[in-house]
Amino acid sequence: MPLSGSDLLVTARAAGVGVGAFNVIQIEHAEALVAAAEQVELPVILQISENAARYHGALAPIALATREIAAAATIPVVLHLDHAMDEELVDEAITLGFTSVMFDGAHLPWAENVDRTAAVVRRAHDADVWVEAELGQVGGKDGAHAPGVLTKPNEAAAFVAATGIDALAVAVGSSHAMTERTATLNLERIAEIAAAVQVPLVLHGSSGVADVAIAAGVQAGLTKINVSTHLNKVFTAALRESLRDNESVVDPRKYFGAARAALTAETARLIRVIHG
């Protein structure tokens, strides 16, 4: 099936449902995420971050493999570049066939964030690629995790209007890289932002948010729900268990296969939770 674009999130927002967005680090991730989405017959967003590209030494190898897996899927799949601060990487992703990119200028002063994001939007839209941006710093990456960093509805509306972005990542109480699901979402702020802007809202740091809170966040106005650390915990736990139970194994397909199967099962469960 051809890769999907922004219409997937626009449709989901109109229906009041969520779409799961999960990070690809290795090819097993991409295979598991697509298999999970096909099991539950719901769309999925495959994300490759700037950090993952650095891990592989370049974006193209993991991106091209992921694109082929996504294109062969029987359900709608978006291929998304996650948390890119490097504009050259954004341009490369567009060239490689990504249907969605995130330019993360949340750390920049307002005017510079607006100018650089708007420039990315113009280039991406020329290639029929949609753009996500962030306003308000989601905790975990730079230690920002306090009420003062929450996204303000009026600023969100102004930012969307000034840049022309297609989706907005908001700071509403979650934090990146949490290994316990104890974050508290500000549902009132989510609803206020959703009423102020006309584009889908994105929740980063969702690994630290419990199922019931994710569902409540979608009901309040979130559409794209990003999960990475939680699924990496599942993947790693299954790999460790496989190695512990099979000490003589030397074939990576054995333990990576077990990890991939566990990741598929948990992703399928999460997709259902997020969709509602």
How many residues make up the chain in this entry? 276
The answer to whether 18 touches 223, Cβ cutoff 8 Å, is yes
83 annotated to bind ligand = yes
How far is 276 from 254, CA to CA, in rounded Å?
Answer: 34
Q: Is 82 a catalytic residue?
A: yes
* Backbone angles phi and psi of 275, in degrees to 5: -65, -40
- The residue from 82, 86, 115, 166 that is catalytic is 82
Cα-Cα-Cα-Cα dihedral of 115, 150, 273, 218, to 10°? Answer: -80
176 annotated to bind ligand = yes
126 annotated to bind ligand = no
Quick check: helix, strand or coil at residue 87? helix
29 annotated to bind ligand = no
Nearest by Cα to 164 from 122, 135, 129: 122
Which two three-digit tokens encode residue 52? 């993952």
Who contacts 31 (Cβ-Cβ below 8 Å, separation ≥6)? Answer: 69, 260
The answer to whether 124 touches 90, Cβ cutoff 8 Å, is yes
CA distances from 180 to 97, 132, 171, 232 (A): 35, 26, 18, 13
204 annotated to bind ligand = yes
Positions marked active-site: 82
Give the residue ranges of the annotated binding site: 83, 104, 134, 176, 204
Give the residue ranges of the annotated binding site for Zn(2+): 83, 104, 134, 176, 204
